[in-house]
Amino acid sequence: MKRKNYPGNQFKNYMYWPLMLTVFIILMNVPLYFFDQKAGICVSVFASVYFLVVLIVFIANKSVLRNEVINFATQYGTIQKKLLNEFEIPYALLDYNSKILWMNEAFAGITEKGKSYHKSIATIFPSVTRELLEREEHNDNIHVKWKGKVYRVSAGKIHFEEEPGNSGSPAKEPKAETEENPYLIALYLFDETKLHESIQEIQDQQLVAMLIYIDNYEEAMDSVEEVKRSLLVALVDRKVSKYFSERDSVIKKIEKDKYFVVFKQKYLEELIEDKFSILEDVKTIKVGNEMAVTLSIGVGVSMNSYNQKYEYARMAIDLALGRGGDQVVVKEGEKISYFGGKSRQVEKMTRVKARVKAHALREIIESREEVFIMGHSISDMDAFGAAVGIFCATQVLGKKAHIVLDEVTSSLRPMKECFTEEKGYPADMFLRSEQALEMADNRSVVVVVDTNRPNYTECPELLKKTKTIVVFDHHRQGSEVIENAVLSYIESYASSTCEMVAEVLQYFNENIHLKSNEADSIYAGILIDTNNFMTKTGVRTFEAAAYLRRCGAEVTRVRKLLRDDMAAYKARAEAVRHAEVYRGAFAISICPADRDVESPTIAGAQAANELLNIVGIKASFVLTEYNGKIYISSRSIDEINVQLIMERLGGGGHLNVAGAQMTDCSVAEAKRRIQVTLDRMLKEGDIEV
């Protein structure tokens, strides 16, 4: 510590001022001799007497004044230490390594540590680390729990180089905090237990809005005898009422297949821990019905208003239905949680919805000048075929249309070569993202096919160029969706987007007629996504295929167009050959991304399908590293819901076909994440082997 910072120096300077004043008087007296000698002598005598008196007083009182100052400082320090020690607020001093140097009685009483305890503060409060204390901007917002109470930790640094009494002086630039330039940390504990209990009580008493829909009401009613239908409805009502009445809820049936429920927020955590067992409980109702009843539940949580809660519940139920039903969606602000969703979606036999969407699409296209169609990045056959179907629809209306396509994979190239200028198609039928961004404006409409996530699209920036967006997709919705779509047709029960587009085309215009190569493209999309009609096919899938066959689709021609080259075939074979079986039921492999393989992600997806042909394999996962990302293709037959697994990894899809993308890890780390996720879901009971 520097000498000048010693407080005695300033006191000594103050005591020297009378002696220094004598020198000033003598200097003033010298000119006086030139004007009046007698006056100069008088002043000299006065200065001499003044100097002798001041000197005698200074020498006589120097030790006394020093002792008085020392005694005052000692008493002041003792009183200060006593006040700090008896201070009601727990207080402690730490060194720059967060080691406890001293604590007052209140701090010692709370922590039950003696004043001789000189270990790190983290040994008492593990969350209060040295790194946390060094971040000054957060040191008033640290909360710790101790012996059933909640304390707010406030910490401030005390720098040794700060001079006492200079608090009003301009702040100096702080020196680096090192062992050579140490500092102390003053740490306070404020008991906020009552405050937190009050806040928690307010939150617990908040009301939560819930909407409950019976997914398959009409189908379930049709599967039971007419005399038993009222009994089936009564049993469903009874189970719903009993389940929520136990949580002090108000249940109101607003329609024959819809309920509105209000309950206190404190019961929400209980329902989450119970994993909303009502979903499985209602399926046990059997009164001769061949089809089990399933529910979709939307929960809205908000601290703002009751209208906001209901709006969140409505958005949550829409999301639950869009994901296929038989699940619960809890929406709390931007946070969305999912529960259930393990059963297969029920195929709707009516085509009313397809007809309504076809008419709505026609009105939208007719009101716009230009149409831009795009699928997901690294477009596959389903996205390409659906885009071609929408392109054909716009051509019938005489509108200008473009398909945004950046990367053409080897599996897609033979199909794309069927749409050239020589065959009567416009040169700008296919555009790159840069070209589309230059041409699009508010008078355009963007039609997104085979994805409902904005960051998965071929050109996410294109969505910001226009306010008119249409979405056609067959994947389950997640928390991230394309917002403000004027028309959203998302049916998770559909086998493919091409199936949905084929249905829409039948109601779009009476004059529409597909050429053979156009029908081939849409048919190929259905063929690929259903794995040759072996996965996720329903009555409407075959009806769509029949319509395309009537339009000129040729099975043999499509099969030739979809053949792989030798490099892709070998990559797929390598992935199958090196597959590892995890937990006796899951096949995990890595697809080699050789330079010779033009579309390794497609080869990985094909390998995942191949692995399901092995006896005992219930789900397959194939990882492919491509363009700085790791693509995961997951497949299952019927026992494992791979869509739930992929959602845990940030992806999504269907019950039997799903995928995910990772950018922040290596292939080995991604593989390990899959294994950890499988272990966790097996432990939690979300999947079974």
- Give 439-458 pLDDT, tens digit per residue: 999 899 999 999 988 988 99
Find out whether 249 and 263 touch, Cβ atoms under 8 Å.
yes
pTM of the full structure: 0.59
DSSP state of 241: H
CB-CB contact of 161 with 129 (8 Å): no
CA–CA separation, 658 vs 633, rounded Å?
6
Q: Which of 409, 476, 472 is nearest to 658 (CA)?
A: 476
278 φ/ψ angles, rounded to the nearest 5 degrees: -60, -30
Looking at the DSSP assignment, which residues form a beta bridge with residue 336?
Answer: 331
Q: Which DSSP letter does residue 598 get? A: S
What residue ranges in 113-192 does DSSP mark as E strands? 142-146, 149-159, 183-191
Name the one residue in this structure whose structure tokens are 């994947």.
475
Query: Ramachandran region of residue 100, left (φ > 0), alpha (ψ -120 to 50) or beta?
Result: beta
What residues of the chain score a pLDDT lower than 50? 1-6, 162-179
d(CA 668, CA 648): 18
Nearest-angstrom CA–CA distance, 449 and 239: 40
CA geometry: angle 543, 548, 553, nearest 5 deg: 135
Lookup result for tokens 């409407």: 540
Which residues fall within 8 angstroms of residue 49, CB to CB, at 6 or more apart?
A: none
User: If you write DSSP's letter for every residue of 339-355 in order, what string do you get?
Assistant: EE--SPPPPP---HHHH
**Listed residue (288, 269, 176, 274) closest to 223, CA to CA:** 288
Give me the pLDDT at residue 342, please. Answer: 65
Query: Which residues have C-beta within 8 Å of that of residue 14, sequence separation ≥ 6?
Result: none
Q: How many CB atoms lie within 10 A of CB 56?
A: 10
Helix (H, G, I), strand (E, B) or coil at 687: coil
Strand segments, DSSP code E, in 230-293 are 250-255, 258-264
Spell out the residues 6+ positions from residue 29 whose beta carbon is closer than 8 angstroms to its own.
40, 43, 44, 47
User: CB–CB of 338/345 below 8 Å?
Assistant: no
In degrees and rounded to multiples of 5, residue 582 shows phi and psi of -110, 135
- Return d(Cα 551, Cα 535) in angstroms, integer: 24
